[in-house]
Amino acid sequence: MAEHYSVTSQTYETDRQPDGTYEPVVAIGFTTKGDPPISGIVRVPQSLLKDKVRYAETVKAAIEQAVGAHLAVNEL
């Protein structure tokens, strides 16, 4: 599904939470290497940057979820 992708951008932002507070996040742009390529942005909490392995796993899972959702919509 999203086994091969490139990270195209990484920016630091804040997301407003439902309770009105703000959470620092990392917005990560990606492009898959499939045909056709899929591009998108996923957002993960900045607090994960303290644990590099968990950060990488979370980013990968978020990208796979985004690509899966894109493919599911295309099949409708």
What is the tens place of the pLDDT at every residue in 18-50? 999 999 999 999 999 888 899 999 999 999 999
**Structure confidence at residue 3 as a pLDDT band (50, 70, 90):** low
- Look up the domain containing 44 and give its range: 5-74
User: How far is 29 from 48, CA to CA, in rounded Å?
Assistant: 17
- The whole-angstrom distance between residue 73's C-alpha and the CA centroid of its chain comes to 18
pLDDT at residue number 2: 53
**What is the number of domains present in the chain?**
1
Is 62 a residue whose pLDDT tops 90? yes
pLDDT at residue number 9: 96
For the chain, what percent of residues have pLDDT higher than 70? Answer: 96
The answer for residues whose C-beta is within 8 angstroms of residue 20's C-beta and 6 or more apart is: none
- The amino acid occupying position 33 is K
